[in-house]
Amino acid sequence: MITACCCLTTKNRLPVSAPTTMRTSAMLNSPPSRSKMNMAVPFRRLAWCGERIRKRIPVSFSANGLLSVSGIHNSDAIVRIIGSCENAQTMVPDENVCAISHIGSPLIQRSAEWAEERSKMSLQHANNRKRGVFSAAVAVLAVVVLALGVALPAYAASVSIGGTKVDMDTAVPTKIDDSVMGDAAFQFNYKGDWSPEAGYDQFFNGTDHYSNTVGDSWSMKFTGPKIDIYGSKNPAHGTYAVTIDGKAQKDIVATAGSAQHKQLLGSYEGLDADAEHTIAVELKSGGAIQVDYVVVERKPVAATDFTLSTRAKVLESGSSFELSYSVSPKGAVDPGVTYDFDEKLLEIDETGVVTAKQVSKKTVTSITAALNNESGASHKIDVTIYPQVEGFNAFVGNEKLLDTQEDWEAKKADRTDSWSGTAWLADERASKIGIATRAEGAKNVRIIAGDLVAADGSVISGKDIEVKWLRNVQAKEGRNAQGSLKSYPDVIYYDNTGMDVPANTLQYAWLTIPVSASAHAGTYTGTVQVVADGVDPVELTYTLEVIGIKQPTADEADFEVQVWQHPFSVSGYYFANSTADAATGTGTNAPIDTFLSKEHKDLLRGSLKEYASIGGHDLVANIVEEAWNHQSYYGDTSMVTWILNDKGEWTFDYTLFDKWIAFATECGVIDPATDLGQIKCYSMVSWGGFKYKDAETGEMKSYNMQLNGNNPEGEAAWTAFLKDFYKHCQELGIWDITYISMDERDYGQLKPVVDLVSAVEEELGINIKLSSALNVSTDQNIVSLSDKIDDISVNTGNVDDGFRGLADARAAKGFTTTIYNCTGNYPGNFMISDPGDNYWAMWYAMSSHADGFMRWAWDNWTNDMFGNATYRYWEPGDGWYIYPLESADDLAENPDGFYSTPRYEMFKQGIRDVCKAKYLVQNEKVADRVMELVESLQVPRATTVHGAAVAQNEEQRMLAHSETDRMYDGINEIARELAPAPEPEPQPDPEPEPQPQPQPQPQPEQKPEGGQGATGKPNGGQGKPGTDGPLAQTGDPALFALVATGALGASAVAAGYRARKRSR
């Protein structure tokens, strides 16, 4: 970097005035100290001050262009300052001040060398100086554009944090953790089904990656003469094939008699030190492949830029946050960062903790951060400071994020006072409002939603905006009951009738803003007030854009919504009185006569109707006892009783099955008359043993039903069932929507089922539909079964590069292909997940070309849903989207029979928004744009903490939400182009110009013209906000006019289901 330099004597200094913070170096062994400074011209110091001896000195230009410095008041010698000044194009020479005739002149080069010598001299004598005012060598950046418009406040201070001092010319061993991922040099590039882990002390940085699939690999580009691979040896680990630059190296054998961690697995040296190499490590054979970190010998890489943990922050006086950074490129030497700030408003300690000082009104300031090297990299953080409040602060929260009591310190400074969103007709949007109380708490807190009003006077009534307060539920933070017990605001629970919020508490309310099908297009604005006893109301501004296209339903958009129901868990919760600890054991089921009793139906009806209303038409029915080997707290009782007599003859009792089908039909989940829905019957491949009822004794006994090609008794039993089940379903009129289903079984278990079913089909001349959830990648074995399984759902963790092609090929044949989430997935659907993760999953389904989304559990509850909801398996909340009532007696108060959750509300919002995109795809003019957008959705990276799948870091967490923001913004941008133009706002008739009045003449009687009433105005006037305005007539045509093929009535929806049936 070219610099102009000067050495200034004491006679150039300006009067001392404002204080500033300085940081002394460890080299001088002196404590932090302060000096005074005056700065008349904007100045910004960018980089090193000598050998880590740092201090700010004032820099000023006089009227004639003289550069001056002052303010050295202790034993810290300032050696060099690299900075930039406005108006630095010309300086007037004065004694030791160098002249600059123009930027880039040879004089600058000579001055830089001269100042460097003076800097070294000053450094040598630094410890020998006495208190007083001294000269210093100063370098001013010639490239002044870096500082244009940047000014330090009058009370400027600096603090430097971080930094590593190394010899940049000497190769050193550099550790690269497995979590450093990407395609660039010195980054891990994983191929295949790799699983990350975090939070384990036995690994470097607590993280590792592993895969159980032969052929999966990792690779890395690097420069250096040597690379070492470290990982774990384990009885379950296999043999790894290693190549460098395409040449085979010695295999790594990671198998050992016991687990050994941080082991040197392979060392490869003698490489060209200056050339770029590529190492690839692949699982060749055996069990798993795992990697912890590598060590590369390389010359240090200088940092060229850095990323701050935040670019804007809102603080309350007295509150703090930690400002951190990461340098780039990854693996570069960290030179440290210097923060420049106004010390009258902020304090920053040497760990990067920023604390806001007392202010009397809203104040905006900034922090300028710069790398401590000659890169010139700098960034600014905007900081808004509010005065301390009494009682509480209220703010608009981010409905996509999970905020818990642990966020209280940060949220008590949140002053976000506005919300904006976009909706279509017959749509709704979610929002949340937070309050953070202080030491005195808050009494009788209510949220008052005002009307949202458009420019034409149209109104979305505040009375229609639903407000509910969230309730916290405790659960352990990890998978399989690991981690600490924490509280999660997971239930949309309390009515908005006045809540007392304890001291120092973060409390949220959930808002649902509906838009009717007859609403007028336009932008609606209004306010929402947060009020409480004894404090001033807090007013928040809400703005909602309404696009004049009707929201398509999931049925109309042909988007599959499949969420598994557990009616025996519901009856168990209300009627079993089980007291077993869900964190360690399982409960007992309710008496069988409670199943679909009147009380049970009343408690189930609301939730099943809710499920149907979002497009849920996938019904789960148990055809064997404990198909999932009692993995749930309550058991999965078979709805079909298998009975075997002493003659070896099978009979079947379908009493419970028939009740379930009838009730699901009543609730609208399925409709056999129109072939709407799917009845998924689990399972021909049970996770555990099989039980039947002895006809003579009535006892339940075990039977080997395994289909493996070597069990004729099992094959005979299943054949008997399929034949009888077909006959029974035909009599009920449900056969065309009935599926024999399997869950997460591999090819070896699925193939015998497919073969047996094919044999029965051929014998009876019928079609038996199959479905299966798959937690394996779309490998060739699974693809070979694809044409024989009508409905498959692939775990999101197993969606690979071949999935889109598989889904497209199956769709062309009328088959259904979805994706699903469950334990172990990120983004997830758990209590510990951001609600917005559920929203992201819907976009991922469309991006993957899936027909929809499957979620394994709707209401698979434990016995302590409002106390400790931890379960011995899974992440908390994996088993349910909704909550039960606290007791059956609460049904009168809550006739819906359930409570919603933020994650379920975001799931619903995701369904609606993806259906918007699927609707727009039907328009040939925009179809390619829509798909290009949706297919560009990025997948955030995961790790595991306490066994639970979580975001790898905050950046990856927020990526999920910024990506869905991008999806929805893009979809609405396209929708605006296609939506009917809003009707012009009615204008008053202009006043007529005065005209001479002719004498009246007799005229024949005039009749009103056709199409107008006696008033001479169009019939019905201009239309008012409400259900009978002009768009009440045009709303539906607006939906279907976009594409000629878009008229999806009920019969067309049913035809869509029929079209997907397999005909072999």
In this prediction, residues 565-584 reach a mean pLDDT of 95
Give the Cα separation of 719 and 977 in Å (integer): 57
What confidence tier does 666 reach under pLDDT thresholds 50, 70, 90?
very high
Length of the chain, in residues:
1064
Residue position matching structure tokens 């490869």: 268
| Residue 69 pLDDT greater than 50, yes or no | no
* Amino acid found at 583: A
8: β partners: 136
In this prediction, residues 777-798 reach a mean pLDDT of 85
Select, from the ranges 5-14, 110-119, 979-988, the one with the highest average predicted confidence (pLDDT): 979-988
Q: Do 336 and 304 form a contact (C-beta atoms < 8 A)? A: no
E strands in 624-716? 641-644, 650-653, 678-682, 690-694, 700-703
In this prediction, residues 660-668 reach a mean pLDDT of 98
Please choose, from the candidates 209, 229, 221, 210, the residue with its C-alpha nearest in 3D space to the C-alpha of residue 183: 221
Among left, alpha and beta (phi > 0; psi -120 to 50; other), residue 406 is alpha
The better pLDDT of the pair 180, 486 is held by: 486
Element (H, E) at 978: helix 954-978
In this prediction, residues 1003-1023 reach a mean pLDDT of 33
Give the Cα separation of 576 and 405 in Å (integer): 33
The better pLDDT of the pair 374, 429 is held by: 429
The CATH class that applies to domain 308-386 reads mainly beta
The better pLDDT of the pair 27, 449 is held by: 449
What confidence tier does 988 reach under pLDDT thresholds 50, 70, 90?
low
| pLDDT for residue 562 | 98
Give the Cα separation of 654 and 639 in Å (integer): 7
Structure tokens, 883 = 């909550």
The better pLDDT of the pair 450, 993 is held by: 450
| Residue 1002 pLDDT greater than 90, yes or no | no
Question: pLDDT, tens digit, for every residue of 708-746?
Answer: 888 999 999 999 999 999 999 999 999 999 999 999 988
Q: Do 490 and 835 form a contact (C-beta atoms < 8 A)? A: no
Among left, alpha and beta (phi > 0; psi -120 to 50; other), residue 858 is alpha
Structure tokens, 657 = 């099955």
Torsion of CA 35, 36, 39, 43, to 10 degrees: 10
CATH number of the structural domain 392-550: 2.60.40.10
The better pLDDT of the pair 353, 6 is held by: 353
Q: What is the DSSP letter of 12?
A: G
| pLDDT for residue 1006 | 38
| pLDDT for residue 155 | 63
Collect all residues with Cβ–Cβ distance below 8 Å to 988 and sequence separation of at least 6: none
Please choose, from the candidates 633, 635, 631, 637, the residue with its C-alpha nearest in 3D space to the C-alpha of residue 579: 633
| Residue 813 pLDDT greater than 50, yes or no | yes
Q: Which residues of 444-481 are buried (b: 16+ CB within 10 A; e: fewer)?
A: ebbbebbbbbbebebbbbbebbebbbbbbbbbbbbbbb
- Angle (nearest 5°) at CA 48 between 47 and 53: 140
| pLDDT for residue 708 | 86
Domain ranges of the chain: 3-152, 172-298, 308-386, 392-550, 560-923
Torsion of CA 858, 859, 864, 869, to 10 degrees: -10
- Angle (nearest 5°) at CA 581 between 577 and 587: 45
Return the half-sphere exposure (C-beta side, CA atoms, 13 A cut-off) of residue 391: 16
Q: Which residues of 583-597 are buried (b: 16+ CB within 10 A; e: fewer)?
A: beebbebbeeebbbe
User: For domain 172-298, is the CATH number 2.60.120.260?
Assistant: yes
In this prediction, residues 260-283 reach a mean pLDDT of 95
| Residue 56 pLDDT greater than 50, yes or no | no
| pLDDT for residue 984 | 63
Give the Cα separation of 461 and 387 in Å (integer): 34
* Mean pLDDT lowest among 21-35, 203-217, 779-793, 897-911: 21-35
| Residue 152 pLDDT greater than 80, yes or no | no
Select, from the ranges 43-52, 121-130, 779-788, 883-892, the one with the highest average predicted confidence (pLDDT): 883-892
* Mean pLDDT lowest among 143-152, 476-485, 805-814, 963-972: 143-152
Question: pLDDT, tens digit, for every residue of 854-901?
Answer: 998 999 999 999 999 999 999 999 999 999 999 999 999 999 999 999
What percent of the chain shows pLDDT beyond 70? 77
* Mean pLDDT lowest among 159-163, 297-301, 716-720: 297-301
Q: Do domains 172-298 and 308-386 have the same CATH topology?
A: no
| Residue 17 pLDDT greater than 90, yes or no | no
Give the Cα separation of 570 and 552 in Å (integer): 31
Arithmetic mean of pLDDT over the chain: 81
What percent of the chain shows pLDDT beyond 90? 67
Give the Cα separation of 457 and 987 in Å (integer): 12
At the topology level of CATH, where does 560-923 sit? TIM Barrel (3.20.20)
| pLDDT for residue 1 | 31
In this prediction, residues 1016-1023 reach a mean pLDDT of 30
Predicted TM-score (pTM) of the model is 0.74
Q: What is the DSSP letter of 156?
A: E
Give the Cα separation of 699 and 693 in Å (integer): 6
In this prediction, residues 796-806 reach a mean pLDDT of 90
| pLDDT for residue 166 | 83
What confidence tier does 193 reach under pLDDT thresholds 50, 70, 90?
confident
Within 10 Å of residue 34's Cβ, how many Cβ atoms? Answer: 15
| pLDDT for residue 49 | 29
Question: pLDDT, tens digit, for every residue of 898-913?
Answer: 999 999 999 999 999 9
| pLDDT for residue 864 | 95
| Residue 110 pLDDT greater than 50, yes or no | no
